[in-house]
Amino acid sequence: MQPTVERIPDDLLRRFDVAGPRYTSYPTADRFVEAFGADDYAQALAQRRSGAAALALPLSLYVHIPFCESLCYYCACNKIITKHHDRATAYLRYLSREVDLHTALIGRGQTVSQLHLGGGTPTFLNDGELRELMDMLRRSFNFAPGGEYSIEVDPRTIDVKRLDTLAELGFNRLSFGVQDFDPAVQKAVHRVQPAEQVFALVEAARVRGFESINVDLIYGLPQQSPESFDRTLAQVNQLRPDRIALYAYAHLPERFKPQRRIATVELPNAAAKVSMQSRSLAAFLSAGYVYVGMDHFALPDDALAVAKRQGRLHRNFQGYSTQPDCDLIGLGVSSIGRIGATYSQNAKTLDEYYDFLDQGRFPVVRGLALTRDDILRRAVIMALMCQGQLLYESIELAHLVDFKSYFAAELGTLREMAQQGMVVLDDAGIQVTAQGWFFVRALAMVFDRHLQTDRTRARFSKII
């Protein structure tokens, strides 16, 4: 659904100026428990190997590279700020051990159709180290032809020659961290990178045949205004990447120490943030982008837009994905994975991560085995987040429930939201409206049983 952008009433802004999850999973990662550990993860992997249906599905891999040379004040990622590039040597050695633990249980040669290197700054690794990492992965897994193999790129860390290396290593998708082209905003968040540098790199990447180029943007940063962000939007439309990821800045200085360097008084208010979101929607839709959902846009022929049209869109720990119900192996410090009906997360510090692997154990320190109710609610939330609609019959057939009876309380809440123009309810299902897309996280929250029993939401970002 391509929403038409309209002014959001002030009363809705006030009502939904609340914190809530981004739903890259359900239940959300804050619900993971330490009772789920390395042995539980090993059991999930063993069950995957014994299940014929699971083996028929390709894997997705995520590799976390935690190192960065400099600190971006807005960043909430797990990262290690260092100028000492030799630290990557030991890290790659331990990544190899973690890969070996996986192949010992699931066997070598499992098909992989999606790889993402995130961080931190993956391009902190030099060309030789990137080659070592990719050789390690290719020895252990079978990378499918035509798969999506992507890497996050800090424009300050690469040049045209490095683009040649990335292409040679098999990466076919790049994600450039831009955030904002405005020099004052860049200075305020300690990430100065001239627009000309990004334009030159994107053009060089196109010449080298990369299939999809993504640009990350953030609204709600210090020194931003709707008018200043308009200029960045115009530059991005001129740049015309294949995909755009547009995120709302989550200011949580009590959780993320670097954000304490940002002056709260320099942050735009909720109304300004919604204005930036609204103007972004208008700018990108008018430029021909497909609104994939919540924070992603894509050109009509990009794989993400095609997946949206074909009903194959999914949402995982990296955001929107083209691969529904794909097991995800997370490698590296703090990485999150999904195997079957389980979620898992690795140790968040290098010392603990290394210690587990020195003992020959998976570095999993917490996770979750999903209940039947979790799986049902995940299907409902992902339908709303990914397709903007839900048919009762499809849920009832897949999960053997009477939807209207099982979710009677939730439907009561949605009827109130329907009166505000957020959703349309009928006998067949639920449809998110154009206005409702601004608050799709709020709609998903209605079905979050864990959140309804715990109203403490300080751990989450604002939904607008």
pLDDT, tens only, 225-256: 999 999 999 999 999 999 999 988 988 899 88
Say what the pLDDT of residue 5 is: 45
Say whether both 49 and 1 belong to one domain: no
Mean pLDDT of 150-166: 94
Is 24 annotated to bind a ligand? Reply is no
Give me the chain's average pLDDT, please. Answer: 90
62 appears as a binding residue in the annotation: yes
- Considering only CA atoms, which of 82, 40, 48 is closest in space to residue 65? 82
pLDDT at 439: 83
CA angle 370, 35, 449 (to 5 degrees): 40
Q: Is residue 36 part of a domain?
A: yes
Single out the residue in 309, 331, 353 at which a domain terminates: 331
Whether residues 298 and 398 fall in one domain:
no
Is residue 324 reached through a cis peptide bond, with omega within 30 degrees of 0 on the bond before it? no
In a domain, 447, yes or no: yes
Cis peptide bond N-terminal to 120, omega within 30: yes
Residue 61 token pair: 């891999």
The answer to whether position 297 is within a domain reads yes
User: What percent of the chain lies above the pLDDT cut of 90?
Assistant: 72
pLDDT digits (tens, 9 = 90+) for 165-206: 999 999 999 999 999 999 999 999 999 999 999 999 999 999
Neighbours of 128 (CB within 10 A): 10
Residue 77 marked in a binding site: no
My answer on whether 310 and 445 are in the same domain is: no
What pLDDT, on a 0 to 100 scale, did the predictor assign at position 11?
66
User: Looking at the domain assignment, is residue 360 inside a domain?
Assistant: no
- Binding site annotation covers 75? yes
Q: Do β-strands 212-219 and 243-248 pair in parallel, antiparallel, or remain unpaired?
A: parallel
One domain, residues 6 and 64: no
Q: Is residue 350 part of a domain?
A: no
Domains contained in the chain, number: 2
365 lies in some domain: no
Residue 94 annotated as part of some ligand binding site: no
Q: Do 4 and 105 reside in the same domain of the chain?
A: no
Residues 43 and 7 reside in one and the same domain: no
State whether 38 and 49 are in the same domain: yes
Decide if 363 is inside a domain: no
**Binding residue per annotation — 93?**
no
Residue 1 is predicted with a pLDDT of: 47
Segment holding 174, helix H or strand E: strand 173-179
- My answer on whether 17 and 99 are in the same domain is no
430 assigned binding-site residue: no
Q: What's the mean pLDDT in 289-314?
A: 87
Same domain for 60 and 162, yes or no, is: yes
Q: Is 180 annotated as a binding residue?
A: no
Residue where the block lists tokens 């755009």:
244
In a domain, 402, yes or no: yes
Q: For residues 373 and 51, which has the higher predicted lDDT (pLDDT)?
A: 373
The neighbour count for residue 98, using CB atoms within 10 Å, is 21
Measured CA distances, 170 to 58, 111, 132, 138 (Å)? 18, 15, 13, 10
Give the contacts of 69 (CB within 8 A, at least 6 positions apart).
81, 82, 83, 121, 124, 157
Integer Cα distance of 175 and 153 in angstroms: 6
DSSP string, 109-142: TEEEEEEEEEES-GGGS-HHHHHHHHHHHHHHEE
The reply to whether 239 and 197 lie within a common domain is yes
270 annotated binding-site participant: no
Both 19 and 163 in a single domain? no
Same domain, 384 and 251: no
Of 269-278, 295-304, 359-368, which one has max mean pLDDT? Answer: 359-368
Answer yes or no: is 326 a known binding residue. Answer: no
In whole angstroms, what is the distance from residue 437 CA to residue 293 CA? 8
The confidence band for 14, taking pLDDT boundaries of 50, 70 and 90, is low
pLDDT at 454: 67
For residue 82, the tally of other CB atoms under 10 A from its CB is 15
Give the strands of the sheet with 429-432, arranged side by side.
389-391, 429-432, 423-425
* 179 has binding-site annotation: yes
303 or 368: which leads in pLDDT: 368
Domain boundary among 311, 331, 351: 331
Q: Judge whether residue 460 has pLDDT over 70.
A: no
Instruction: Write the CATH number for 3.
Output: 1.10.10.920
Beta strands in 226-379 (DSSP E): 243-248, 290-293, 296-298, 314-316, 319-321, 328-331, 336-339, 342-346, 364-369
Q: Is 216 annotated as a binding residue?
A: yes
> Of 316, 331, 346, which closes a domain?
331
Q: The domain that contains 205 carries what CATH number?
A: 3.20.20.70
Range of the domain at 389: 1-27+371-464
Hey, CA dihedral for 89, 91, 93, 96, is it positive or negative? negative
